Amino acid sequence: MLKIEKFEGLVAAPFTPVDRRGNLNIDIIPLYYNFLQNNGIAGAFINGSTGEGVSLTQKEKQLLLTAWGKQKKAGGKMRLITLVGGTSYQECIENAIFSKEAGISAIAVIAPFYFKPRDESALAEFVTKIGESVPDMPIYFYHIPALTGVYLPMRNFLKKISTMLPSFAGIKFTHEDFMDFFSCLQYENGRYDILWGRDECLLSALILGCKGAVGSTYNYAAPLYLKLISAYEKGDFEEARKLQMKSIEMIELINKYGGIATGKAYMRYIGIDCGKFRLPVRNMTDEEYKNFIQDVKQLKMDRYFSKFNKNEI
Protein backbone atom coordinates (compact mmCIF):
# COMPACT_ATOMS: atom_id res chain seq x y z
CA MET A 1 0.00 0.00 0.00
CA LEU A 2 1.29 3.43 -0.98
CA LYS A 3 2.30 5.63 1.97
CA ILE A 4 0.26 8.84 1.86
CA GLU A 5 2.27 12.05 2.12
CA LYS A 6 -0.39 14.52 3.18
CA PHE A 7 -0.39 18.14 2.10
CA GLU A 8 -0.28 20.70 4.89
CA GLY A 9 -0.93 24.37 4.33
CA LEU A 10 -2.04 26.06 1.14
CA VAL A 11 -2.19 24.46 -2.31
CA ALA A 12 -2.78 27.07 -4.98
CA ALA A 13 -4.78 26.29 -8.11
CA PRO A 14 -2.77 28.22 -10.75
CA PHE A 15 -4.37 30.05 -13.63
CA THR A 16 -3.30 28.90 -17.07
CA PRO A 17 -1.32 31.81 -18.57
CA VAL A 18 -2.16 32.73 -22.15
CA ASP A 19 -1.03 35.49 -24.51
CA ARG A 20 -3.18 38.08 -26.29
CA ARG A 21 -4.17 35.53 -28.95
CA GLY A 22 -5.27 33.01 -26.34
CA ASN A 23 -2.31 30.67 -26.84
CA LEU A 24 -0.40 29.18 -23.91
CA ASN A 25 2.28 31.41 -22.41
CA ILE A 26 4.56 28.65 -21.16
CA ASP A 27 7.49 31.03 -20.63
CA ILE A 28 5.85 32.45 -17.51
CA ILE A 29 5.70 29.10 -15.65
CA PRO A 30 9.20 29.26 -14.05
CA LEU A 31 8.35 32.69 -12.65
CA TYR A 32 4.89 31.50 -11.56
CA TYR A 33 6.32 28.44 -9.76
CA ASN A 34 8.85 30.50 -7.82
CA PHE A 35 6.30 33.22 -7.08
CA LEU A 36 3.99 30.69 -5.40
CA GLN A 37 6.81 28.95 -3.56
CA ASN A 38 8.26 32.22 -2.28
CA ASN A 39 4.86 33.22 -0.91
CA GLY A 40 4.61 30.13 1.29
CA ILE A 41 2.50 27.92 -0.98
CA ALA A 42 2.99 24.19 -0.33
CA GLY A 43 1.67 22.85 -3.62
CA ALA A 44 0.03 23.64 -6.93
CA PHE A 45 -3.08 21.98 -8.39
CA ILE A 46 -2.71 22.48 -12.14
CA ASN A 47 -5.18 21.91 -14.99
CA GLY A 48 -8.10 22.12 -12.57
CA SER A 49 -11.13 24.42 -12.67
CA THR A 50 -9.08 27.56 -12.10
CA GLY A 51 -6.54 26.32 -14.65
CA GLU A 52 -9.29 25.77 -17.26
CA GLY A 53 -8.30 22.14 -17.67
CA VAL A 54 -11.61 21.23 -19.31
CA SER A 55 -11.07 24.01 -21.89
CA LEU A 56 -7.58 22.86 -22.90
CA THR A 57 -6.57 20.43 -25.59
CA GLN A 58 -4.73 17.24 -24.70
CA LYS A 59 -1.53 18.71 -26.16
CA GLU A 60 -1.90 21.92 -24.17
CA LYS A 61 -2.36 20.01 -20.93
CA GLN A 62 0.81 18.07 -21.62
CA LEU A 63 2.77 21.23 -22.43
CA LEU A 64 1.71 22.65 -19.07
CA LEU A 65 2.60 19.42 -17.28
CA THR A 66 6.05 19.48 -18.81
CA ALA A 67 6.62 23.13 -17.88
CA TRP A 68 5.48 22.77 -14.26
CA GLY A 69 7.20 19.41 -13.84
CA LYS A 70 10.48 20.86 -15.06
CA GLN A 71 10.49 23.26 -12.11
CA LYS A 72 9.92 20.41 -9.65
CA LYS A 73 12.65 18.31 -11.26
CA ALA A 74 15.03 21.28 -11.05
CA GLY A 75 14.82 21.23 -7.26
CA GLY A 76 11.56 23.03 -6.55
CA LYS A 77 10.11 22.19 -3.15
CA MET A 78 6.49 22.81 -4.08
CA ARG A 79 4.64 19.58 -4.85
CA LEU A 80 2.35 19.33 -7.87
CA ILE A 81 -1.06 17.74 -8.44
CA THR A 82 -2.72 17.71 -11.84
CA LEU A 83 -6.28 17.03 -12.88
CA VAL A 84 -6.05 14.36 -15.58
CA GLY A 85 -9.62 14.71 -16.79
CA GLY A 86 -12.93 13.08 -16.09
CA THR A 87 -15.08 11.91 -19.01
CA SER A 88 -12.85 9.46 -20.89
CA TYR A 89 -10.85 7.10 -18.72
CA GLN A 90 -8.58 6.33 -21.68
CA GLU A 91 -7.67 10.00 -21.99
CA CYS A 92 -7.24 10.19 -18.21
CA ILE A 93 -4.86 7.22 -18.32
CA GLU A 94 -2.86 8.88 -21.08
CA ASN A 95 -2.55 12.03 -18.98
CA ALA A 96 -1.74 10.06 -15.83
CA ILE A 97 1.19 8.26 -17.47
CA PHE A 98 2.41 11.52 -19.01
CA SER A 99 2.15 13.23 -15.59
CA LYS A 100 4.34 10.61 -13.97
CA GLU A 101 6.99 10.98 -16.67
CA ALA A 102 6.81 14.79 -16.35
CA GLY A 103 7.64 14.67 -12.65
CA ILE A 104 4.21 15.56 -11.26
CA SER A 105 3.74 14.48 -7.63
CA ALA A 106 0.13 13.22 -7.78
CA ILE A 107 -2.91 13.12 -10.04
CA ALA A 108 -6.58 13.88 -9.50
CA VAL A 109 -9.73 12.64 -11.23
CA ILE A 110 -13.18 14.23 -11.36
CA ALA A 111 -16.45 12.39 -11.79
CA PRO A 112 -17.58 11.83 -15.38
CA PHE A 113 -20.02 14.70 -15.92
CA TYR A 114 -21.81 13.63 -19.12
CA PHE A 115 -22.49 9.93 -18.60
CA LYS A 116 -22.62 10.18 -14.82
CA PRO A 117 -21.82 7.28 -12.44
CA ARG A 118 -25.00 5.80 -10.99
CA ASP A 119 -23.56 5.24 -7.50
CA GLU A 120 -20.38 5.24 -5.39
CA SER A 121 -19.34 1.83 -6.68
CA ALA A 122 -19.41 2.98 -10.31
CA LEU A 123 -17.41 6.09 -9.42
CA ALA A 124 -14.84 4.05 -7.50
CA GLU A 125 -14.50 1.67 -10.44
CA PHE A 126 -13.87 4.59 -12.80
CA VAL A 127 -11.20 6.15 -10.55
CA THR A 128 -9.57 2.76 -9.98
CA LYS A 129 -9.32 2.13 -13.72
CA ILE A 130 -7.22 5.29 -14.04
CA GLY A 131 -5.22 4.83 -10.86
CA GLU A 132 -4.09 1.35 -11.81
CA SER A 133 -2.21 2.80 -14.80
CA VAL A 134 0.24 4.55 -12.43
CA PRO A 135 0.29 2.21 -9.39
CA ASP A 136 3.11 4.02 -7.56
CA MET A 137 1.54 7.48 -7.90
CA PRO A 138 -0.89 9.03 -5.34
CA ILE A 139 -4.43 9.36 -6.72
CA TYR A 140 -6.90 11.99 -5.52
CA PHE A 141 -10.57 12.42 -6.31
CA TYR A 142 -11.71 15.97 -7.04
CA HIS A 143 -15.20 16.34 -5.55
CA ILE A 144 -16.88 19.40 -7.09
CA PRO A 145 -20.55 18.50 -7.57
CA ALA A 146 -21.58 22.08 -8.39
CA LEU A 147 -19.77 21.66 -11.73
CA THR A 148 -19.97 17.89 -12.35
CA GLY A 149 -23.53 17.38 -11.13
CA VAL A 150 -22.41 14.23 -9.29
CA TYR A 151 -23.70 14.54 -5.72
CA LEU A 152 -22.55 11.28 -4.17
CA PRO A 153 -21.60 10.98 -0.46
CA MET A 154 -17.82 10.95 -0.25
CA ARG A 155 -17.72 8.85 2.91
CA ASN A 156 -19.49 6.03 1.05
CA PHE A 157 -17.11 6.55 -1.88
CA LEU A 158 -14.13 6.15 0.49
CA LYS A 159 -15.55 2.89 1.76
CA LYS A 160 -15.64 1.57 -1.81
CA ILE A 161 -12.33 2.85 -3.14
CA SER A 162 -10.36 1.94 -0.01
CA THR A 163 -10.74 -1.73 -0.92
CA MET A 164 -10.08 -1.28 -4.64
CA LEU A 165 -7.15 1.13 -5.15
CA PRO A 166 -4.08 0.88 -2.86
CA SER A 167 -2.63 4.11 -4.28
CA PHE A 168 -5.71 6.20 -3.45
CA ALA A 169 -4.54 9.16 -1.36
CA GLY A 170 -7.51 11.41 -0.70
CA ILE A 171 -10.10 13.94 -1.85
CA LYS A 172 -10.09 17.57 -2.91
CA PHE A 173 -13.39 18.41 -1.28
CA THR A 174 -15.06 21.40 -2.96
CA HIS A 175 -18.55 21.23 -1.53
CA GLU A 176 -20.35 22.84 1.42
CA ASP A 177 -21.42 19.55 3.06
CA PHE A 178 -19.39 19.84 6.26
CA MET A 179 -20.91 16.67 7.71
CA ASP A 180 -19.63 14.60 4.79
CA PHE A 181 -16.30 16.44 4.86
CA PHE A 182 -15.80 15.76 8.57
CA SER A 183 -16.81 12.12 8.12
CA CYS A 184 -14.12 11.78 5.43
CA LEU A 185 -11.51 13.40 7.69
CA GLN A 186 -12.35 10.90 10.41
CA TYR A 187 -12.53 7.85 8.14
CA GLU A 188 -10.29 5.06 9.46
CA ASN A 189 -8.67 7.39 12.02
CA GLY A 190 -7.76 10.02 9.45
CA ARG A 191 -6.19 7.65 6.95
CA TYR A 192 -6.76 9.84 3.88
CA ASP A 193 -5.64 13.31 2.83
CA ILE A 194 -8.85 15.36 2.68
CA LEU A 195 -8.13 18.78 1.21
CA TRP A 196 -10.63 21.61 1.66
CA GLY A 197 -11.68 23.46 -1.49
CA ARG A 198 -13.77 26.48 -0.46
CA ASP A 199 -11.53 29.46 0.38
CA GLU A 200 -14.39 31.56 1.78
CA CYS A 201 -14.98 29.13 4.66
CA LEU A 202 -11.48 27.81 5.33
CA LEU A 203 -11.77 28.64 9.04
CA SER A 204 -14.73 26.30 9.46
CA ALA A 205 -12.72 23.51 7.84
CA LEU A 206 -9.74 24.16 10.13
CA ILE A 207 -11.96 23.75 13.18
CA LEU A 208 -13.00 20.31 11.92
CA GLY A 209 -9.35 19.25 11.61
CA CYS A 210 -8.40 20.23 8.06
CA LYS A 211 -4.63 20.53 7.55
CA GLY A 212 -4.47 21.29 3.82
CA ALA A 213 -6.58 23.33 1.41
CA VAL A 214 -6.70 23.92 -2.34
CA GLY A 215 -7.92 27.24 -3.70
CA SER A 216 -7.70 29.83 -6.44
CA THR A 217 -7.43 32.88 -4.17
CA TYR A 218 -4.26 31.46 -2.60
CA ASN A 219 -2.55 32.50 -5.85
CA TYR A 220 -2.77 36.18 -5.04
CA ALA A 221 -3.69 36.36 -1.34
CA ALA A 222 -1.51 33.72 0.32
CA PRO A 223 -0.44 36.05 3.20
CA LEU A 224 -4.10 36.55 4.17
CA TYR A 225 -4.73 32.84 4.58
CA LEU A 226 -1.38 32.09 6.20
CA LYS A 227 -2.17 34.74 8.81
CA LEU A 228 -5.63 33.23 9.24
CA ILE A 229 -4.16 29.77 9.83
CA SER A 230 -1.58 31.21 12.23
CA ALA A 231 -4.26 33.08 14.21
CA TYR A 232 -6.35 29.92 14.45
CA GLU A 233 -3.40 27.84 15.64
CA LYS A 234 -2.62 30.44 18.32
CA GLY A 235 -6.20 30.37 19.53
CA ASP A 236 -6.85 33.95 18.42
CA PHE A 237 -10.25 33.17 16.98
CA GLU A 238 -11.39 36.79 16.84
CA GLU A 239 -8.48 37.64 14.53
CA ALA A 240 -9.07 34.48 12.49
CA ARG A 241 -12.71 35.48 11.97
CA LYS A 242 -11.70 39.00 10.88
CA LEU A 243 -9.30 37.56 8.33
CA GLN A 244 -11.92 35.15 7.03
CA MET A 245 -14.23 38.12 6.57
CA LYS A 246 -11.51 39.84 4.55
CA SER A 247 -11.42 36.74 2.37
CA ILE A 248 -15.17 36.92 1.89
CA GLU A 249 -15.04 40.61 0.93
CA MET A 250 -12.35 39.81 -1.63
CA ILE A 251 -14.33 36.89 -3.04
CA GLU A 252 -17.50 38.99 -3.24
CA LEU A 253 -15.75 41.02 -5.94
CA ILE A 254 -15.26 37.80 -7.91
CA ASN A 255 -19.03 37.38 -7.95
CA LYS A 256 -19.64 41.07 -8.66
CA TYR A 257 -17.45 41.02 -11.76
CA GLY A 258 -18.77 37.85 -13.35
CA GLY A 259 -17.12 34.87 -11.66
CA ILE A 260 -13.99 32.81 -12.12
CA ALA A 261 -12.28 35.08 -14.68
CA THR A 262 -12.01 37.77 -12.00
CA GLY A 263 -9.18 35.73 -10.52
CA LYS A 264 -6.99 36.61 -13.48
CA ALA A 265 -7.87 40.28 -12.89
CA TYR A 266 -6.56 39.92 -9.33
CA MET A 267 -3.37 38.38 -10.73
CA ARG A 268 -2.98 41.28 -13.13
CA TYR A 269 -3.47 43.65 -10.19
CA ILE A 270 -0.53 42.17 -8.27
CA GLY A 271 1.68 42.16 -11.39
CA ILE A 272 1.27 38.83 -13.21
CA ASP A 273 -0.74 39.01 -16.43
CA CYS A 274 -2.19 35.56 -17.18
CA GLY A 275 -4.37 36.78 -20.04
CA LYS A 276 -8.04 35.93 -20.34
CA PHE A 277 -10.24 32.90 -19.79
CA ARG A 278 -11.50 30.99 -22.78
CA LEU A 279 -15.09 31.00 -23.95
CA PRO A 280 -17.72 30.51 -22.74
CA VAL A 281 -16.34 32.13 -19.56
CA ARG A 282 -16.97 35.86 -19.60
CA ASN A 283 -14.04 38.26 -19.10
CA MET A 284 -14.08 41.88 -17.94
CA THR A 285 -14.13 44.77 -20.34
CA ASP A 286 -11.39 47.39 -20.00
CA GLU A 287 -13.87 49.73 -18.35
CA GLU A 288 -14.95 47.06 -15.88
CA TYR A 289 -11.31 46.41 -15.01
CA LYS A 290 -10.86 50.08 -14.09
CA ASN A 291 -13.89 49.85 -11.80
CA PHE A 292 -12.56 46.59 -10.38
CA ILE A 293 -9.25 48.26 -9.46
CA GLN A 294 -11.11 50.96 -7.55
CA ASP A 295 -13.12 48.32 -5.68
CA VAL A 296 -9.96 46.39 -4.81
CA LYS A 297 -8.32 49.52 -3.42
CA GLN A 298 -11.37 50.15 -1.27
CA LEU A 299 -10.82 46.78 0.37
CA LYS A 300 -7.58 48.21 1.85
CA MET A 301 -5.93 44.82 1.90
CA ASP A 302 -2.80 45.24 -0.20
CA ARG A 303 -0.73 43.97 2.74
CA TYR A 304 -2.56 40.66 2.41
CA PHE A 305 -1.79 40.15 -1.27
CA SER A 306 1.05 37.89 -2.41
CA LYS A 307 4.29 39.68 -3.17
CA PHE A 308 5.54 39.51 -6.74
CA ASN A 309 9.17 40.12 -7.71
CA LYS A 310 9.97 40.12 -11.42
CA ASN A 311 13.37 38.61 -10.58
CA GLU A 312 11.88 35.49 -8.95
CA ILE A 313 13.35 33.06 -11.51
Round to whole Å and give the CA distance between 292 and 313.
Answer: 29
The distance from CA 78 to its chain's CA centroid, rounded to whole angstroms, is: 13
Give the DSSP H/E element, type plus range, for residue 195.
strand 193-196
Round to whole Å and give the CA distance between 78 and 33.
Answer: 8
Cα torsion 101, 104, 105, 110 to 10°: value is -110
Contact by Cβ (8 Å): 184, 154? yes
Give the DSSP H/E element, type plus range, for residue 202.
helix 202-207
Concatenating the DSSP letter of every residue in 145-166 gives HHHH-----HHHHHHHHTTT-T
- Return the closest-CA partner of residue 182 out of 206, 147, 217: 206
Active site members: 142, 172
Say if residue 280 is preceded by a cis peptide, omega within 30 of 0: yes
Question: How, if at all, do strands 106-110 and 79-83 pair?
Answer: parallel
Round to whole Å and give the CA distance between 262 and 299.
Answer: 15
Instruction: Characterize 233-243 residue by residue with b for buried, 16 or more Cβ atoms within 10 angstroms of its Cβ, and e for exposed.
Output: eeeeeeebeeb
Round to whole Å and give the CA distance between 193 and 168.
Answer: 9
Round to whole Å and give the CA distance between 293 and 299.
Answer: 10
Max intra-chain CA distance, the chain: 55
